[in-house]
Structure 1
């Protein structure tokens, strides 16, 4: 940018490029600068060459960008890929619920300690009104619905494995390793509540670890550590 030296020491602009922004949408997002949920404006811009502050020649478009309504910071559109705090909480709650159902479907619901552990795990994730009866009914419905739970191939069931991936894969990029490992450990505690892992439970837990983008050896280590921890 060329500038002219003034007698006062200031450097007034002779010419440059100015962007005029227009709002084309809005919503709520997680603002990285604010560190919380904020309203945003989706904006596009038009660049113009200016001379002495007067816009003259169009120089193309800018954006689109996401502008925080609170701090005014602008971000690329992929910032909207990060869920809001409310959405993240719902995703985590639903993921833990799905995992608990998968473990129960693999190991059965006959054991009271297993049911009780599953209820505690699901409640801690945010389903405060979860009961043993509700989980048992859902597992029974899952087993009866051949469109969702397919016994073959494998104890986990192809359709159930798909549901685990659908619930966990969108969550995994937004969870630190400790958070992903915590979900696996919670599922392991459910499986261990009535004794050692069954082959079907191990398969479900391996699927959970894979969907959470954990290396197989990491998942195996977590399962071993959980089995050594007193209940």
Structure 2
């Protein structure tokens, strides 16, 4: 006997995509000739897919839906881009162009240089937080976004990406930093923080950043 305690959307391992689910609990009973007799304790909780009706442990809810994962990835790239721009400045046109290219590729198709520069300017007037509603201001190259900003954006995503996916986010930030020349110390500090937030081992972060610096743009 099952009863439904809640519902929602999840990534169904059986269907291989986003589906609706029911969270269910029940009671086990001993059946004799098809007749339920003695109770045998609690069953569940389980997550039942509304499409394939397969049942899974509740740990499947820890995996974000495809829609949620895409949103996390967009926000991660956006945050890393802003962090690198804060560290290195926005004066050089190649840097702005590389930043816009990265953000558009992540899913913000309407992003412009002006929007990014306005967001960066707003950090000077926004008490160190990446703002949702920017105000004009000025930020000198060599500043850094607080590490908490990067961790908030990257830590929820990191467990759900393969190593190559996490490295790609780091390398996108590196390409932006290198668009106007070698890393400056603030950029190196920011990219090291990106690596930590993405759970990339320090030695791998150093190797990736060094390789990116040696690659012709």
Please indicate, yes or no, whether the TM-score normalized by the shorter chain is above 0.5: yes
Large movers: runs of 4+ above 2 Å: 154-157
User: Does residue 144 of structure 2 align to residue 156 of structure 1?
Assistant: yes
Is 1:51 the equivalent of 2:32?
yes
Q: Is the 8 A contact 2:12 2:19 kept in 1?
A: yes
Q: Is the 8 A contact 1:114 1:194 kept in 2?
A: yes
Which residue does the alignment assign to 1:201?
187
Map 1:18-37 to 2 at 5 A: 20-37=1-18
- 2:52 matched residue in structure 1: 71
138-147 or 62-71, which moves further after superposition?
A: 138-147
State the SS of the aligned residue for 2:171.
helix
Question: What is the SS of the residue equivalent to 2:91?
Answer: coil
Which deviates more, 206-215 or 25-34?
25-34
User: Does the 8 A contact of 2:86 with 2:143 survive in 1?
Assistant: no
Give the match for residue 228 of structure 1: 214
**Alignment correspondent of 1:106:** 87
Separation (CA, whole Å) in 1 of partners of 2:215 and 2:118: 30
Structure of larger gyration radius: 1
Q: Which stretch shows the higher mean deviation, 45-54 or 180-189? A: 45-54
2:134 equivalent in structure 1? none
Per the alignment, residue 168 of structure 2 pairs with 182
Q: Which runs of 5+ in 1 are unaligned?
A: 1-19
Comparing 209-218 with 50-59, greater Cα deviation is found at 50-59
Q: What is the rounded CA distance, in whole Å, between the counterparts of 1:36 and 1:46 in structure 2? A: 29
Deviations 1:78-121 (A, max 9, x none): 10110100110000000000000000001111111100100000
Q: Is the 8 A contact 1:114 1:191 kept in 2?
A: yes
For residues 199 and 60 of structure 2, the distance between their equivalents in structure 1, rounded to whole angstroms, comes to 21
SS at match of 1:42: strand
The structure 1 residue matched to 2:75, chosen from 86, 91, 94, is 94
Question: Counterparts of 2:32 and 2:82 in 1: how far apart (Å)?
Answer: 66
Using the size of structure 2 for normalisation, the TM-score is 0.92
TM-score after normalising by structure 1: 0.86
Aligned to 2:23: 42
Give 1:155 deviation, angstroms: 4.8
SS of 1:66 mapped into structure 2: strand
**Greater shift after overlay, 186-195 or 136-145?**
136-145
Corresponding residue SS for 2:119: helix
**1:71, 1:229 → 2: CA distance?**
48
Deviation at 1:45, TM superposition (A): 1.0
Measure the CA separation in 2 of the matches of 1:143 and 1:108. 12
In structure 2, list runs of 5 or more residues that go unmatched.
131-138
Deviation at 1:140, TM superposition (A): 0.9
Pairwise CA distance, 1:147: 4.9
Q: Residue 230 of structure 1: SS of its match in structure 2?
A: coil
